Each structure stands twice: as C-alpha cells, then as structure tokens.
C-alpha cells in the first residue's frame, strides 16, 4: 500500500499578505488587482464568509463585502515561500508532484528519514512550514492521490486528516460529489441530473452509464467510487500543449481588432512551440467575453501545426464560429495540443472532458 500526502497552503496569497502586514489581521482581505477588470485571486477566511472567492470579479466581491480590503499580489514572495516549502518536502522524498505554487503530492512510501507513519511526516511538515514561513498548511494522508487531496481539504485551515484504507469506502460513500477530483461545477450539475449527489450514489451506477455520460472520465469516477486511484506521483509532466492568451485592457469588438490580435497571438504561440519543441495537431481558440462567459473551438488536422501559414488561417476559421457582434471580447487565446504520438501516455493525468473543471 502506498503512502501519499497532499499538502496545501491555507488561503495562500492572502496569508502571505496578512503575515507581512499585521494591520490586516481580523479584516476581510482579498488578493487581486482592484479596479473594474480585477479578479480575486484568493480571499481570506473572513472574506469567504461573505461569499468572496477565487476567480470572482473584484466588483462583485466589493458588493458582497463592502469592507473588503483588496491587496495587490506580490508573486515574487509567493514563489519564495513555494521554494521554502518544496525544500522542506525534499527532506522526506524526491517523489514530489507540485500542482501549483502552494500545493503538492508527496509519495512517502519509502521516505528518506525512514518514518513509519505518513501522518507523522505530515505533522512534521506542517510544523516545519509554520516555523519557516509563519504560515499554515493543511495536509491529507492516504494511500492514493484522490483521497489524500480530499483529506487536505477536509479540515482546512491548519487541518490534518488521515483516510485509512479500511475506512476509505465509508468515507467515499458519504463524500459529496463536488469533492471528487475532476468534478467542477458543470460536471456536478450533470451528476445531479443523474441523481448522483454522493459517493454512494456514484458507486451504485454501472460503468456503462458513467462512460456514456462522462467519456474517459466515467471509468475514473467509477474507480474513485471504489477507492481505486492508481495515478502515480510524478515529478515531471510530459508537456501536453503549448498555448498563449491575452486579456485586454479594453474589450475587443471589431473584426479588425480581433483579427490583428489573433495575428499577434499566433506569433507568440509559434515562439513558444519553437522554444518548447512541442508538436501537436489540434488548434484550440479560446474566447472569453466581457461577461466572463468562455467558449473554446477546436480543429484537428493530420499534420503537426508548426507554421504561421497553417495556424493563422485555422484560427480565423475557428473565429468564424464565434459570434461576438454583440458581445465584446475580453480574452483571446490559442493553444496547440494533441501530439501525433504520445510516448509516455501512462504518465498523463486522465484527460478531463470538461475543461472548465479543475482549473486551479
């Protein structure tokens, strides 16, 4: 049986800001750029009680919480803390899979100090993080990634939760479907439509039904409901795509503007493709409108996309499927994905069928 720990810093960006500015203590605080286009990166727990949350427009956050203090992000500081916590993790194992600056999976089955119980390692890591950074983290301990991550979220903030293999099924049965890895808002709504609200509901559904509705993820969900998650902790991802996107200070509304911006983005994308050596056959156009509604349109061809002569006309073709005549555009993006041959398929995370889900 493997021993997996998931560590996640509590209200990360905003906790760093509170640490460095004690006058914020006890007040509702969010990190983000204040202004009509600003988006909340994260909010502290006081502000969350008012309904303020990540990815929300700052204007909405102010409306929900009139006393909200919005602090500008300081990415260099967050990176520095991220390095500090990764150095701590490295004292226990080299099998570290960072998911973002503040979050990682650790496989401590064979750990460097030879500690028997993973929960002891988790406790030690939490206290060393606090001593080194003056910040709190939550940790989950289990035999697989799915349950370790659920565990770290379970008793936030400053939580520690172990899900033992012999209690796992009971735990999963009671787990809300929203807590399952890969289930975002849209998937949750589709689950509800099928009468699935908990792990037990999911467990009761046949594999055929789940794959019919959720594609490849159907099997993943079927296994999760049974406590099966063999995904390894991997230290390096195989690149699956290269992309580039831009958010505009002023929304784009004319065809001339949009076409000219796509031209710039195509140039930048080509630079990224060259630098990374990535090759793919699918082009995806992403458009986010002024009201934050986002759509994507994709096209796959037989050859690798590696020249502007291929990419730009295809991007313009995809753009024709988008009606922005009454809906100014806030963000444009182009991504190349789908390598012609996948050498390390086993190392890939299962593909999510719903790309709005699981955006961290």
Whichever of 101 and 175 has its CB closer to Mg ion, that residue is 101
Among the listed ranges 9-17, 142-150, 164-172, 335-343, the one in contact with Mg ion (CB under 5 A) is 9-17
Q: Which partner, Mg ion, ligand TTP, none, binds residue 93 by CB below 5 to 8 Å per kind?
A: none
103 labelled catalytic = yes
Q: Apex CA 259: angle with CA 274 and CA 247, to 5°?
A: 70
CB of 311 to ligand TTP, least distance (A): 28
- When asked if residue 9 is in the footprint of Mg ion (CB under 5 A), the reply is yes
Binding mask 79-118 for Mg ion (x = CB under 5 A): -----------------------x----------------
Hunting for tokens 């033992």 — which residue is that?
Answer: 164
Q: Which partner, Mg ion, ligand TTP, none, binds residue 360 by CB below 5 to 8 Å per kind?
A: ligand TTP
Token readout for 3 is: 């021993």
Beta-bridge mates of residue 100: 103
Contact 245, 331 (CB under 8 A): yes
Answer for which of 2, 6, 7, 12 binds Mg ion (CB under 5 A) is 12
CB of 153 to ligand TTP, least distance (A): 7
Query: CA 182 to CA 352: how far, in whole Å?
Result: 7
- When asked if residue 171 is in the footprint of Mg ion (CB under 5 A), the reply is no
Contact 126, 139 (CB under 8 A): yes
Whichever of 247 and 276 has its CB closer to ligand TTP, that residue is 247
Which listed residue (17, 18, 103, 178) is catalytic? 103
Whichever of 82 and 335 has its CB closer to ligand TTP, that residue is 82
Judged by the rule CB under 6 A, the positions of this chain that interact with ligand TTP are: 8-13, 41-42, 54-55, 100, 102-103, 156-157, 360
CB of 172 to Mg ion, least distance (A): 23
Residue 309, exposed/middle/buried by CB under 10 A (0-12, 13-18, 19+)? Answer: exposed
Whichever of 2 and 126 has its CB closer to ligand TTP, that residue is 126
Whichever of 156 and 190 has its CB closer to ligand TTP, that residue is 156
CB of 77 to ligand TTP, least distance (A): 12
CB of 137 to ligand TTP, least distance (A): 9
Q: Apex CA 278: angle with CA 283 and CA 288, to 5°?
A: 35
Q: Which partner, ligand TTP, Mg ion, none, binds residue 100 by CB below 5 to 8 Å per kind?
A: ligand TTP
Query: CA 5 to CA 120: how far, in whole Å?
Result: 11
Query: CA 106 to CA 148: how far, in whole Å?
Result: 10
Contact 147, 171 (CB under 8 A): yes
Whichever of 8 and 107 has its CB closer to ligand TTP, that residue is 8
**Residues taking part in catalysis:** 103
Name the site residues for Mg ion (rule: CB under 5 A). 8-9, 12, 102
């Amino acid at each position: 049986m493997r021993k997996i720990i998931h560590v996640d810093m509590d209200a990360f960006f905003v906790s760093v800001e509170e640490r460095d500015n004690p006058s914020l203590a006890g007040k509702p605080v969010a990190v983000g750029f204040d202004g009509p286009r600003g988006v909340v990166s994260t909010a502290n727990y006081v502000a969350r009680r008012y309904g303020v949350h990540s990815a929300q427009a700052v204007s909405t956050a102010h409306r929900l919480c009139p006393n909200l203090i919005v602090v500008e992000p300081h990415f260099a500081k967050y990176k520095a803390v991220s390095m500090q916590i990764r150095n701590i993790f490295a004292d226990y194992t080299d099998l570290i899979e960072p998911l973002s600056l503040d979050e990682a999976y650790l496989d401590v089955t064979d750990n460097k100090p030879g500690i028997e119980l993973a929960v002891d390692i988790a406790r030690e890591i939490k206290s060393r993080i606090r001593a080194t950074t003056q910040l709190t983290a939550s940790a989950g301990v289990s035999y697989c990634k799915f349950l370790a991550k659920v565990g770290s979220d379970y008793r936030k903030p400053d939580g520690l939760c172990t899900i033992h293999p012999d209690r796992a099924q009971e735990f999963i049965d009671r787990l809300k479907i929203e807590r399952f890895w890969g289930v975002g808002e849209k998937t949750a709504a589709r689950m509800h439509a099928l009468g699935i609200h908990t792990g037990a509901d999911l467990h009761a559904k046949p594999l055929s039904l789940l794959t019919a509705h959720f594609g490849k993820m159907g099997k993943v969900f079927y296994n999760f409901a049974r406590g099966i998650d063999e995904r390894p902790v991997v230290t390096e991802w195989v690149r699956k795509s290269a992309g580039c996107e831009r958010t505009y200070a002023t929304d784009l509304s004319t065809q001339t503007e949009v076409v000219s911006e796509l031209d710039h983005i195509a140039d930048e994308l080509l630079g990224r493709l060259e630098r990374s050596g990535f090759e793919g056959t699918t082009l995806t156009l992403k458009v986010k409108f002024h009201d934050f509604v986002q759509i994507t349109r994709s096209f796959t061809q037989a050859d690798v996309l590696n020249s502007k002569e291929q990419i730009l006309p295809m991007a313009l073709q995809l753009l024709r499927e988008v009606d922005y005549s009454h809906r100014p555009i806030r963000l444009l993006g182009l991504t190349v994905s789908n390598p012609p041959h996948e050498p390390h398929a086993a190392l890939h995370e299962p593909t999510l069928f719903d790309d709005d889900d699981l955006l961290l």
